[in-house]
């Protein structure tokens, strides 16, 4: 009669060690991917304001708010919506789809001037800029965004939506004070538009829920 033999303690220990190493490798890989995503998102908040300042330095006007862009840039379109004028403010909602809004034409001006990459053809499928998570990027003035007073006191804000809470919190830690409802960076409900009422942001985040992140400059 054959005797059934189990694993020895040494064999079991080896299996557990290998399983532990595999698990640690998976977790480390996930951490590296998450860090890469946060760094990519952070680059938008660092680079795009620099593009805007570069444009302002070259043309003595803000992109979008440059109402002689047709003279400065071959193919440039001047904003004409509402009462928008060249007044040192980028007007229009951060996520505007109105082709004559300053906040919409800003991207054309930056691209035609060579500061940003992407299509300069207004209304094309590739025109609206996206972050690395597929969310939309946009610029508006702080008053239009309606964040309110306090330390969110820059003239303009860069907004980026569709960012998971776990990444939004890391962004705030990396670039600001680590709290979603204070400082120069605010974490808002995803898809927030200009509503007339100040949006103060949220300090309590759900890691798997998408948010809108705005940073003043």
**Strand-pair category, 156-164 with 137-141:** antiparallel
Tokens found for residue 160: 């980026």
Q: How much is the pLDDT for 101?
A: 96
Could you report the per-residue pLDDT of 99-120, keeping only the tens digit for each?
999 999 999 999 999 999 999 9
Residue with tokens 């204070």: 182
Higher pLDDT, 200 or 209: 209
- For the cut 80, the answer to whether the pLDDT of residue 159 exceeds it is yes
Task: For residue 72, give the H/E element and its range.
Answer: helix 69-72
- For the cut 60, the answer to whether the pLDDT of residue 32 exceeds it is no
- Long-range contacts: 197-204, Cβ < 8 Å, 24+? 197/146, 198/146, 198/147, 198/148, 198/149, 199/145, 199/146, 199/147, 199/148, 200/147, 200/148, 201/147, 203/179, 204/180
- Where do the structural domains in the chain lie, given as residue ranges? 13-216
Averaged confidence pLDDT in the chain: 86
Could you report the per-residue pLDDT of 48-69, keeping only the tens digit for each?
999 999 999 999 999 999 999 9
Mean pLDDT of 185-203: 69
| 3-class DSSP assignment, residue 211 | strand
Calpha distance 203→183 (Å, rounded): 11
| 3-class DSSP assignment, residue 162 | strand
List the strands of the sheet with 137-141, edge to edge. Answer: 137-141, 156-164, 210-216, 185-189
Would you place residue 194 in the very low, low, confident or very high pLDDT band (cuts 50, 70, 90)?
A: very low
Contacts of 154 (CB under 8 A, 6+ apart): 142, 184, 216, 217
Could you report the per-residue pLDDT of 81-92, keeping only the tens digit for each?
888 889 999 999
Output phi, psi for 140, to 5 deg.
-155, 175
Q: What does each C-alpha distance from 105 to 85, 97, 109, 165, 212 come to in angstroms?
A: 13, 10, 6, 30, 21
């Amino acid at each position: 009669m054959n005797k059934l033999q189990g694993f020895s303690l040494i064999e079991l220990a080896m299996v557990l060690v290998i399983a532990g190493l595999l698990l640690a490798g998976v977790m480390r890989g996930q951490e590296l991917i998450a860090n890469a995503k946060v760094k990519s998102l952070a680059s938008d908040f660092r680079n795009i304001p620099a593009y805007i300042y570069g444009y302002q330095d070259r043309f003595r006007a803000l992109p979008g708010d440059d109402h002689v862009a047709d003279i400065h840039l071959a193919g440039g379109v001047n904003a004409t919506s509402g009462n928008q004028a060249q007044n040192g403010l980028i007007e229009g909602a951060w996520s505007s789809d109105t082709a004559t809004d300053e906040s919409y034409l800003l991207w054309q001006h930056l691209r035609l001037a060579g500061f940003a990459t992407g299509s300069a053809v207004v209304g094309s499928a590739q025109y609206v800029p996206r972050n690395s998570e597929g969310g939309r990027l946009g610029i508006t003035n702080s008053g239009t965004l309606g964040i309110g007073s306090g330390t969110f006191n820059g003239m303009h804000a860069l907004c980026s939506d569709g960012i998971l809470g776990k990444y939004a919190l890391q962004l705030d830690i990396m670039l600001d004070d680590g709290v979603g409802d204070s400082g120069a960076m605010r974490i808002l409900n995803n898809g927030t538009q200009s509503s007339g009422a100040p949006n103060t942001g949220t300090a309590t985040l759900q890691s798997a829920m998408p948010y809108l992140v705005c940073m003043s400059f």
